[in-house]
Amino acid sequence: MFENLSNRLQDVFSSLKKTGSIDETALDSAMRDIRRALLEADVSLEVVKKFISEVKQKALGQEIIQSISPSQMIIKLVNDELINILGNDTATVNIEGKTPASLMLVGLQGSGKTTSIAKLAKFIKSKYSKNILLVSLDVNRPAAFEQLQKLAHDIDIDILPKVENQSPENIAKRAIAAAEINDIDLILFDTAGRTSIDDNLMQELKELESILEPIETLLILDSMTGQDAINVAKNFSDKIKLTGSILTRVDGDARGGAALSLKMTTGCPIKFIGNGEKIDDIEIFHPDRIANRILDMGDVVTLVEKAAESIDHQEAEKMAERLQQGEFDLNDLLSQINQMKKMGGISSMLKFIPGMKNLGDKANTVSDDAIKKQEAIILSMTKLERRKPKMINSSRKQRIAKGSGTVVSEVNRILKQHRKMADMMKRVSKKGMSGLQDLGLPQDFNNQIPPEFLKK
Ligand SMILES: Nc1nc2c(ncn2[C@@H]2O[C@H](COP(=O)(O)OP(=O)(O)OP(=O)(O)O)[C@@H](O)[C@H]2O)c(=O)[nH]1
Ligand SMILES: [Mg+2]
């Protein structure tokens, strides 16, 4: 899977590397090649467009990191965007709920439902040691039951015995009753496929859905069908509530476009991929590992992450030095806010000051909007005002409030907050941590942050 895309992207990157420095023209031409590579991999146009515009926008707004080259930066951006369209976090199969809990597999004829159910059952049994019952609800295709029965036997998992001429709805009810008696944790239901989506099939699935109240309804999609898989997913999710999908036959699909388009176009996360006919040919779908496989540039990605991290550290250390000398003006507050934005908390800075590590953890709950507002207020001050906040009189306050789209009381609040923090820094630098006790800290530290700035 993804061989073609992988090769194409690597060609783009190797010619980028040769270019050395990257200007907008070089970036444009690289993005054109990436666009073509994605389209050839059968990724849907909608997704390709979004992909390209995200990467381009980020590439242009990117901070320059000295120790890495622009081409390395672009590789990292493409990597991140690949992970993003693949769904970011790994979506795990849900197996918790009222017992017996039902999992239902649905999909078109021949998509790989019966094979996948056996693969999934073995996976869940060995990973979570659950008691599983397999049930065939396919009363249409001759020998559908026998196919599942053979697989169940191979993996040593129980299957609900066949009763002739029972409707899928009645089999479902019988399965739940049998599971309750036999201490079954999970029932995996195999359903009938159709050559195309028809109303009867959907009606049957809807009825089964209301009987089973499944904790997972997984759509089985044949990745070889490419863009069609996306339409199938859209159609199914219009009618029943899908919780995820299993993409089968990725072993025969060199393009991988379905995998790359599915999450973004349908919102349905891929939970597993089937990569062969054997029972063990199933894999959890990890977006980051898949992206890594496509790019095959793991070392570059790690390098860029490390470089970006070290920049944050340098900044934080520089500020910590100033703080230790008792200096803390509004510029420091601004870079602290920037650090907060980047690293998600005041703790990132405070941890560099001996004894303040735990204190930092407590203050790690400042909300994003509040941070943006604080930043806007400080940015509306002149450089001199930031260095000498005392000079900010009421007319200056009004100008600052106007410039930042806030009101004077908010400007006052920041100034007050800054005064308190500066005072705290001064005490710490003079007396060490004992200086904080005069302020009633650390217990009181969260009070330094206005309550509306804390996450609800
Ligand atoms: N190469 C490969 N073949 C697969 C994979 N998954 C299923 N198959 C094959 O696809 C064929 C159909 O699989 P089934 O599991 O019977 O499909 P189904 O959706 O249950 O089919 P119906 O019940 O007829 O709707 C079988 O020959 C499987 O061996 C896979 O991941 N890779
Ligand atoms: Mg089947």
Q: Is residue 318 part of a domain?
A: no
Q: How many CA atoms lie within 13 A of 262 on its CB side?
A: 34
Q: Based on the fold, state whether residues 115 and 258 are members of the same structural domain.
A: yes
pLDDT in tens, 157-201: 999 999 989 999 999 999 999 999 999 999 999 999 877 777 888
User: Which ligand 1 atom sits closest to the C-alpha of 275?
Assistant: 31
Q: The domain spanning residue 69 has which CATH number? A: 1.20.120.140
Q: What's the chain's length in residues?
A: 456
Angle at 24 between CA 82 and CA 15, to 5 degrees: 65
Pairwise CA distance, residues 59 & 16, whole Å: 14
Contact 347, 361 (CB under 8 A): yes
Domain end, chosen from 240, 265, 287, is at 287
How far is residue 231's CA from residue 138's CA, in Å, rounded to a whole number?
23
- Give, using CA atoms, the residue closest to atom 21 of ligand 1: 110
Say whether both 226 and 356 belong to one domain.
no
Q: Which positions of the chain have pLDDT values less than 50?
A: 344-345, 357, 360, 364-365, 439-450, 452-456
Q: What's residue 443's pLDDT? A: 42
pLDDT of amino acid 188: 96
Question: Do residues 5 and 263 lie in contact, with contact meaning Cβ atoms separated by under 8 Å?
Answer: no
What is the Å distance from ligand 2's center to 20 Cα?
Answer: 54
Same domain, 380 and 237: no
Given this model, what pLDDT does residue 454 score? 47
Report helix, strand or coil for 222. strand
Q: Give the per-residue pLDDT at 456.
A: 42
Q: What is the pLDDT of residue 209?
A: 95
SS3 of residue 283 by DSSP: strand
Residue 343: per-residue pLDDT: 55
Q: Dig out the tokens for 138 from the structure.
A: 């396919």
Residue nearest to atom 3 of ligand 1 (CA): 277
Q: Give a yes or no: residue 319 inside a domain.
A: no
Same domain, 159 and 268: yes
Total number of domains in the chain: 3
Pairing outcome for strands 132-136 and 101-107: unpaired
**Interval between CA 133 and ligand 2 midpoint (Å):** 16
DSSP one-letter string for 78-133: HHHHHHHHHTSS--PPP--SSSSEEEEEEESTTSSHHHHHHHHHHHHHHHH---EE
Q: How far is the CA of 191 from the centre of ligand 1 (A)?
A: 13
Amino acid (one-letter) located at 115: T
| Structural domain of 48 | 3-86
Nearest ligand atom owner, CA of 247:
1
In a domain, residue 295? The reply is no
* Three-state DSSP state, 139: coil
Q: What is the pLDDT of residue 305?
A: 72
Q: Based on the fold, state whether residues 82 and 106 are members of the same structural domain.
A: no
CB atoms within 5 A of ion ligand 2 belong to 113-114
Considering the domain architecture, whether residues 23 and 138 belong to the same structural domain is answered as: no
pLDDT of residue 367: 57
Q: Which two tokens stand for residue 95?
A: 């197996």
The pLDDT of residue 65:
59
- Give residue 433's pLDDT: 56
- What does the pLDDT read at residue 350? 53
